[in-house]
Amino acid sequence: MPMLELPARFTGDPAPLGIDLHMHSTASDGALSPAAVVALCASRGLSVMALTDHDTVAGIDEAQRAADEHGIALLPGTELSTRWSGINIHVVGLLPQGAQGALVPGLETQAEARERRAEVIAARLEKVGLADALARAREQAGSSRPLGRPDFARALVAAGLVTDIGQAFRKHLGNGKAGDVKAHWPALDEAVGWILDAGGVAVLAHPLRHGLTRRKRGLLLDAFAAAGGQAAELISGFQNPDVTRDLARQLDERGLLASLGSDFHFPGGHLAPGSMSAVPRTAVPPVWTHPRLASRLQPSRSQCPVL
């Protein structure tokens, strides 16, 4: 892994940092193979990336081989589906030592939960006219990976029941709709515990994307910090700078570190690896200053004899 000089704090420089700690591959609902995601990151000049597929680390080995070839620093990761206050909350685990300890059985229960949830989603979508919903979603997935709501969304589009993916989520799969099935996911604090036990850093994913009031978002951050969560995504894709500054205050108040990521899923959309709003000047330290990550991302020369 190359020697890296990562900034110790955010200075408000609008130039991209070349760091993206939230991306998806075909190991979950992304369009590119893990190796292709890494190659794209390398071609876009990123120095540090994390692959964070939903509820799995299945893409990490392939990504690591590609990262070694391209000379880019890869942090193994995952994005866990959890429940808090009746909402589906995502927690990114940055895993310098990979999946270990309680996270290993945790990921097994997540895979089972995804399977059971897919059956419930399928039964509900059959009621709105999608016959053989499970088989059709499986066909859309095109592999044996665990099914996600985007597979059902594409099945609804293919069957002509909705015009596009956006409408599939608005009508049938999004927050509060019939296909938004949360009951199978672990509580937020349990999932955070798995990440901590694996030697990882727990990052609250995209806290601005749940439509919460500022007060409720504060309660979520309180619960996350109380569970042992160490960071939150200050930047997720593109967002309003005023809202970002306000979120930074909320992180600062709770001693949470700041992470950032594109949440890249597929090429051709408005997001690419490393593309996101600039981080404003803030006292909130970057997540890579956490001791659990610093050792992996800033190796001493003795660990890198070839450099």
Shortest distance in whole angstroms from residue 90 CB to Mn ion = 4
Binding residue for Mn ion (CB under 5 A) from 27, 107, 263, 288?
263
The strands making up 19-20's β-sheet, listed across from edge to edge, are 19-20, 48-51, 73-84, 87-94, 201-204, 231-236, 257-261
Helices (H), 73-132: 103-127
**Residue 210 interface partner, choices Mn ion, ligand AMP, none, CB cut-off 5-8 Å depending on type:** none
Residue nearest Mn ion, Cβ-based:
90
Task: Verify binding: residue 233, Mn ion, rule CB under 5 A.
Answer: no
Check binding of 29 to Mn ion (CB under 5 A): yes
User: Residues 248-267 vs ligand AMP: string with x where CB under 6 A?
Assistant: -----------------x--
* Residue 169 binding result from Mn ion, ligand AMP, none, given CB thresholds of 5 to 8 Å by partner type: ligand AMP
Neighbour-count burial of 71, counting CB atoms closer than 10 A to its CB (0-12 exposed, 13-18 middle, 19+ buried): exposed
Angle at alpha carbon of residue 226, lines to 222 and 231, rounded to 5°: 75
SS3 204: strand
Q: How far is the CB of 170 from ligand AMP (least distance, A)?
A: 7
Distance, CA of 150 to chain centre: 15
H-helix or E-strand spanning residue 219 = helix 214-226
**Piece in contact with ligand AMP (CB under 6 A), picked from 97-105, 125-133, 164-172, 281-289:** 164-172
Q: Rank residues 90 and 145 by Cβ distance to Mn ion and give the closer one.
A: 90
Check residue 138 for interaction with ligand AMP (CB under 6 A).
Answer: no
Helix (H/G/I), strand (E/B), else coil: 282: strand
> 154 or 296, CB closer to ligand AMP?
154
Q: Work out whether 224 is an interface residue with ligand AMP (CB under 6 A).
A: no
Q: What is the DSSP string of 146-163?
A: PP-HHHHHHHHHHTTSSS
- From the list 148-156, 210-218, 248-256, 298-306, the region that binds ligand AMP by CB under 6 A is 148-156
β-pairing, 257-261 vs 231-236, is parallel
The stretch among 118-126, 197-205, 210-218, 279-287 that binds Mn ion (CB under 5 A) is 197-205
DSSP state of 54: B
Question: Where does this chain bind ligand AMP (CB under 6 A)?
Answer: 29, 54, 81, 148-150, 165-166, 169, 174, 265
